[in-house]
Amino acid sequence: MPSEPLIALALSLLISLVPFLPAAEKSAPEEEPAPAVEEQPALSAEQLAALAQTPASWFDEPALLDALSKLPHYDETRAQRYLAYRTGGVWTLEQVLRIVNTDNDLPRFTAAVDADPDDGDLILVNKYSRLASDYVPEDLVTVEPAYSNGGKLKSEANDAFCDLVEAMWAETGLHLVNASPYRSYQTQKNLYARYRTQYSEATTDRFSARAGYSEHQTGLALDVIAPGGTLNGFKNTQQFVWMRDNAHRFGFILRYGDGMEYITGYKFEPWHYRYVGVDAATFIYENDLTFEEYYAYYVKNKPPSGSFTAKKKQPLTAFSLARSRAISLRSYYLTSLVTSLSAKSAAPDNACTWCHSRSISTPQEAVNSVYDVSTFESAGTGRRCLRDQLYIGLTLS
């Protein structure tokens, strides 16, 4: 419930919205013109904030539409849909706008339309926007092995993720691991079906996407963990704190925020991040928006000339410079970490089977092997060498 000061401010605001009416009408002399009605002054930022948090149930229908019209993103064509939220729940005016403007008042899945691949990095995939079963994004690349448990991302998203991981280490000394990036339609179908054997449909839909409705199929989304950690434990890590406050610098957003399930359709997922480009991510972060809102206001419906315009292609960050083996920050990072383990790892009997079979017995050879793509990709599931153990917390065997 709103606090007492907020209620008082909201009530005073409601009173100020009522047009002034004279106590009694008097016929004015014909030679005197009727007095002009003084226009209501524009609401202050404080008044608008209070109005946005006022329950919709406090208004009758005409007053509700009048109050909503004073707030940003009011859409007259959705007026009747707004009115449906005057009863049947304690929704604030801000929440009513968010729900209806993102089409969350429509039935999920049955009202879904096809996602638009032409939106590029800003493609919307949720319970109202689906991908075809045969959709596979172009330019999928293997995620940098040192930062991942496997899998692929779109090339631009992969570059940005590598930049992000390197920046996190450079600024804090913390490590981050990609736990789950691109998933095919079939993989998501199998995953959802497995959860359905354990939970009801309604419960499963709150934390797992149905096939075709998963952002992972775009190649632009990934789940991250701390080395040796879990998804559910990620919110209690320093890595999460850094990601929450800095991911936008590299084009990523926390996709399913705390308390936003009524818009995103999913419970809070502190581990799930989506690449949208630096400009869009920064705007979303600074304005506390969901991606659904950003898409509705700045992608689906183009903003007026002179206001913020979303960009589908973003410039790479400063950390994208110097990716050669000789001067890459990544190579320096791995070299310094692996060297610290040299006393234990240099002996062949302490190297893993994969490294031993390739005569990799020193830290520098392990670092160099990261960049030998053909060797790396042939390693298969048996690969468990020094470079992995630095990130996923495995014990040397």
Whole-angstrom CA distances from 310 to 73, 92, 118, 281, 369 are: 16, 28, 14, 10, 40
Q: 176 with 244: CB under 8 angstroms?
A: no
Q: DSSP 3-state assignment of 155?
A: helix
User: pTM for this structure?
Assistant: 0.71
Q: DSSP 3-state assignment of 221?
A: strand
> What's the angle, vertex CA 211, arms to CA 208 and CA 216, rounded to 5?
70
pLDDT, one tens digit for every residue, the chain (397 residues): 455 555 545 555 554 554 433 334 445 455 566 555 556 678 888 999 999 999 999 999 999 999 999 999 999 999 999 999 998 778 999 999 999 999 999 999 999 999 999 999 999 999 999 999 999 999 999 998 889 988 999 999 999 999 999 999 999 999 999 999 999 999 999 999 999 999 999 999 999 999 999 999 999 999 999 999 999 999 999 999 999 999 999 999 999 999 999 999 999 999 999 999 999 999 999 999 999 999 999 998 765 444 444 444 333 333 333 233 222 333 333 333 333 334 334 433 434 443 444 444 444 444 344 333 333 333 333 333 333 333 333 222 2
Q: Are strands 140-142 and 252-254 parallel, antiparallel or unpaired?
A: unpaired
**Catalytic pick among 94, 215, 269, 293:** 269
- Residue 269 annotated to the active site: yes
